[in-house]
Structure 1
């Protein structure tokens, strides 16, 4: 099997790293060799966070090069444009239609960029998810990340892995049920 490359990007506090751990665990249980790397940056201050997950028969490095990602999952709209150069021309961009203003935007120094999704849609196969709205309907906006995980799983045809048992193992008991609902909602959204 050819190596597959998944790039997950967002800002601190969105659960990007938890999703990467769930994803990596599932891929390992499915028998793949998996490598994961994470970059926190200024995550605690709302800065950019990225994780890279590579899987296949044998993976030698956890790093995805420019133009090598099969799929880019953006937990925040603007992050998708920051990381777009890492996506293959025939790759898929899964974008959460959710804006989190950075410090310069909040201070009024710059405006949040307009037309991000439209610009990306002109370049690559793009799937837009409003994970905030979906998670709000489920009753907990903190599961937005798992909604996006569901969209990723469906987009990469990884539905034959027992994701529910992995969530049960990696998520606190009181949040398991809502996370499983979020996973399924994300799969249905694409």
Structure 2
């Protein structure tokens, strides 16, 4: 367990990025990892960026992930994936929800939303997984479970037992929403290659 695993979760306020990081943290701690987590909220309540860094391993001294060090990036929105892709290791895994959330600067006409984000990322990243997490979450019963769909995808690339992920869902999701979140998680697992 001496290797440190770095996971960057990036999205927009209201997408459940922080809950997803708490699910991941719960799983890692259950496996005996030391875990450090850091959250950055950029006007999250108004649709601003939210970035969570999770580092796990035997001796983790800082929650900060440097550029080029992320083993995994889970992006809840494609522009956020684009902004943070340089943090991914050469052999890292980039999981991208293909949803677009137009930032305020685009809405007021001060900027434009790049059109070729997904094409560019596919060309630059060796292990790129793009999926419509919002659609899958809606099919599972609630669009707000997109974060859990993405955790399902991530679970297929991490060496943690399936029951640890289920236990984390039970611990972190309110009981009345648990079954649909379990379904959303299963949809994500099924989408992973």
| TM > 0.5 fold call | yes
Q: Give 3-state SS (helix, strand or coil) of 2:156's partner.
A: helix
Structure 1 stretches of 4+ moved >4 Å: none
Distance apart, 1:111 and its partner CA: 2.3
Q: Distance in 1 between matches of 2:160 and 2:130?
A: 19
1:77-123 C-alpha deviation (Å, 9 max, x unpaired): 00011111111111111010100000011223322111111111111
Distance apart, 1:47 and its partner CA: 0.4
Give the match for residue 109 of structure 1. Answer: 110
Q: Structure 2 unaligned runs (5+)?
A: none
Give the match for residue 54 of structure 1. Answer: 55
Give the match for residue 160 of structure 2. Answer: 158
Q: Distance in 2 between matches of 1:156 and 1:169?
A: 19
Q: Distance in 2 between matches of 1:168 and 1:110?
A: 42
Distance apart, 1:161 and its partner CA: 4.5
1:4-57 C-alpha deviation (Å, 9 max, x unpaired): 100000000000000001110111011111111110111111000000111112
Alignment of 1:29-178 (within 5 A): 29-124=30-125, 125-178=127-180
- Asked if the contact 2:36–2:60 (Cα under 8 Å) also holds between the matched residues in 1, the reply is yes
Q: Structure 1 unaligned runs (5+)?
A: none
Question: What TM-score do you get using the length of structure 1 for normalisation?
Answer: 0.96
Considering only aligned residues, what root-mean-square deviation do their CA atoms show, in Å?
1.1
- Asked if the contact 1:26–1:161 (Cα under 8 Å) also holds between the matched residues in 2, the reply is no
Q: Distance in 1 between matches of 2:131 and 2:118?
A: 11
Q: Distance in 2 between matches of 1:152 and 1:102?
A: 26
Distance apart, 1:162 and its partner CA: 2.0
- Asked if the contact 2:8–2:73 (Cα under 8 Å) also holds between the matched residues in 1, the reply is yes
- Asked if the contact 1:16–1:51 (Cα under 8 Å) also holds between the matched residues in 2, the reply is yes
Q: Pick closer, same or farther for the CA change 1:138–1:160 going to 2, 3 Å.
A: closer
Q: Distance in 1 between matches of 2:157 and 2:48?
A: 27
Q: Distance in 2 between matches of 1:53 and 1:89?
A: 19
